[in-house]
Amino acid sequence: MKKIPKICFTAARQDSAQQAMKRLKSGYDHVPVAQADVIVALGGDGFMLRTLHRYLKRGLPIYGMNRGSVGFLMNKYEEAALPGRIKKAESITVHPLKMTTLDVAGRKKTALAINEVSLLRQTRLAAKIRIIVDGVVRLDEMICDGVLLSTPAGSTAYNLSARGPIIPLGADLLALTPITVFRPRLWSGALLPHQAKVVFEVIDAVDRPVSAVADHTEVPNIRTVEITEDRSKSLTMMFDPEHNFEERILKEQFQP
């Protein structure tokens, strides 16, 4: 981005993010999203993901600055020389996951996930889930609270809480992570190539109901879930050259 970028500012609801947006709008020209070259998102990782969803069809790069609690996907918040920082920023392109569900009534639904697709038990009964990767049954029956498939962008969110691996942005991998697994007791998940087709089949779907969630879209009482990477859709995040994501990953993995 060599020219001076036209910026559209957006912010999370928290006071710190709203006040930051107010100051930035007073210091820099703000344009509507239809006229923008770049969107500057002010908040935390959750707000970055919501912003990516909201402007998915626009195809604009998004430069985040951290006014939230974590900020793995955000740059350091600084108000000075913002257009210059954006011009020097490095871009990373990510593709969402496409979730296709079939519920117990035979209804189909699709949704996109930038973060992860997760399956979760709906009642006190544990879920029983079969896992199929590229047409091969890899686990015939897993007894668990659920399971998730995460993109690199989402690997520092729910996936990390479920003790899944953090994946560097730009890596062509997906994290398959069980949630409170009972059997097989020692199974901790797997790393899959990004082009893998993953199918989850819910065993005893009526008696042991399971819901499927693609980021913010939840589908209850599912029987099967098919997940593939949607290469037809691209999202671009921008980072300062000194944004050392790899170092942050290492530090996070060695936290006591």
* 212 vs 21: CA distance, rounded Å: 35
DSSP E strand boundaries for the chain: 7-11, 38-43, 62-66, 90-94, 97-103, 108-113, 116-121, 127-133, 136-150, 173-183, 190-193, 198-203, 210-214, 217-219, 222-229, 235-239
Please identify which of the residues 15, 45, 172, 215 carries the catalytic annotation. 45
Q: Are 230 and 112 in contact (CB under 8 A)?
A: yes
Query: Contact, 42 vs 65, CB < 8 A?
Result: yes
Beta pairing class for 235-239 and 62-66: parallel
Q: Under a CB-based contact definition with an 8 Å cutoff, are residues 126 and 111 in contact? A: no
- In which residue are the tokens 């920023």 written? 89
Q: Are the C-beta atoms of residues 88 and 240 closer than 8 Å to each other?
A: yes
Query: Distances in Å between the alpha carbon of 85 and those of 6, 45, 112, 116, 138?
Result: 13, 20, 31, 30, 46
Q: Active site includes 45?
A: yes
The three-state secondary structure class of 9 is strand
Query: Who's near 74: CB < 8 A, 6+ residues apart?
Result: 41, 43, 44, 45, 48, 64, 65, 66, 68
DSSP H helices in 99-199: 158-161
Q: Active-site residue numbers?
A: 45
